[in-house]
Structure formats: structure tokens, C-alpha cells
Amino acid sequence: MKIAFIGLGNMGAPMAANLSKAGHEVTGFDVAGATAEGVGTAASGPEAATGADVVITMLPNGQILRSVAAEVIPAMSPGAVLLDCSTVDVESARAVADQAAEAGLGALDAPVSGGIGGASGGTLTFMVGGSDEAFAKARPLFDIMGQKAVHCGPSGNGQAAKICNNMILGVTMIATCEAFALADKLGLSREAMFDVVSTSSGYSWSMNAYCPAPGVGPQSPADNGYKPGFAAELMLKDLGLSQQAAEAADADTPMGQRALELYRAFVEDEGGTGRDFSAMLPRFEKRGRG
């Protein structure tokens, strides 16, 4: 396929490089001038999108997605697919999909899970919203960039799945960190805590696969000074999107709201920027009941 890739940051660049390595003709554009291995360079988004079978975007937020879509959709050929892999608000995803449909294009919102390591290794999971036809056209690309692509329904549902998943992740990580800090103060060793919880009813991905306590369980960012695998500020962004969606849908999400408040304090007031989201554990270690 002829592919345009707009947004060659930490995630986009390795994703584009993997498509090129697989034999696709990939042309990239990044507003900051970033490039990717094996990927051609265009002078603008519309130039990259002209004649492309699929235009992939990996962008920071919904406002930028709307702006880029307004530029590239007029340059795209009828029948082409606009595949957005950014994590944005559901409303923006659906607005862009409507704009694409009016221009005779397919549209998919396909946010990812797996981080920079998954982007580099081609092991991302894609949560995809959009038509069956557009999903079928993009499927071979998902197979190159990732290990799994789940079609979640119509446009916007990919974003809905991502923010619901990450709301659970944010809440369970906080609970896991709270429990380790409590165990410390009760004189329970972290190894004993892990051995019990990881095989009992409190087990979770946050405990079993991404344990926030260094030296316990499989290797995780906690074992590397909390250098981010998933930065706290990205968790804050996703929790913000979850609560924006909850407000729009009139959904009661008190745990999601409280997780947002805690991560906001951690990132904005407590030095959490640039640290992994599991660095909530040393935060709780230092705090007392008051």
C-alpha cells in the first residue's frame, strides 16, 4: 500500500518504520521535522496524503487531530482510509469520522496500548472504531504494527474502549500502591504481599505484570528508578478524557474522578512529571493519614 504517516513522535516513528520494513511505501510528515527509518519525507500533511491508500495519524490531542484532518481530508482520494491512532476525546474522533465520510473516505479511530516498546516491537494492541469495510482495509497494517486489533464497533468506540480501559488501570494502580504502603506500615514484607495478592482475589495487571514495588515480581519501571514505560502525565491525560466522556454521557464514575484528582496533584504539584505512573508508590510511602 501507499501510506502517509502524520506525526512521527516517540510512537509514530517506530510504527511508520515497521510499515516501511514490511514493504509498504510510506511517506511521513511531522510538524517538528522528525523522521523515521525507511520513511520518505513530505513538506506538509496534504502532500503526504495525496494519492495515499491509507493516511495514519498519531497526534497529541483532539484539537490537533481536528486541525490535521481538516487539512488532509481534501487531499485524500475517495475510498482511502483515514486511520487515527491518537488517544483523543470521543467527540473529536466522531467529528473527524463524519467529515471523512462526507468526503467519501473511510475512517477509523484506533488508539493503542503497549507504549513505546510495543510500537518498536510491533506488538501494540489496537482498539478500533469504524466501519467493517475500513477495518478490513487497514487490517494488514494492524498485523504489522501490532499483535492484536479489536473492532469495537462504530466510530468513536475505539476511543471509548481505550479510556475505559485506562480508567480501570489508573484506579487499580492507585489501589495497588496504597496497599503496598499500608503493608509497609503494618510490617508485612513486599515479597509476601506480592506472593499473596498475585495469586489471590486482589490480583490485577498492576500487581502481577507491572508491580510498582521495586525488586518484586517481573521487571517493571519500578526496577529502573520509575523511568516511564507509561508516564504519569499520559495517565493524567487519559483520566481527563474518561471524565470528559463520563460528563457528556451522564455516567457516575467516582473512582475515575478521584484517580484523576490524585494524578493531577502528583503531576502538577508533587514532581510526578517525567516519572512512570506507578511512581505513585513512593508518593504514598512518604505520606501519613492526614
Note whether 68 and 45 are within 8 A (CB): yes
Beta strand 112-113 with 124-130 is antiparallel
| 3-class DSSP state of 173 | helix
- Cell 511505501 identifies what position? 25
**Does the active-site annotation cover 148?**
no
CA 22/CA 207 separation, integer angstroms: 36
Note whether 28 and 40 are within 8 A (CB): yes
For the beta carbon of residue 270, count every other beta carbon within 10 angstroms: 18
Note whether 8 and 26 are within 8 A (CB): no
Q: Which residues contact 259 (CB under 8 A, 6 or more apart)?
A: 167, 170, 171, 174, 239
Beta strand 25-29 with 2-6 is parallel
38-to-59, 84, 264 alpha-carbon distances in Å: 20, 21, 39
Which DSSP state fits 14? H
Q: Which of 21, 148, 162, 227 is catalytic?
A: 162
Grid coordinates belonging to 224: 529502573
Give catalytic residue positions.
162
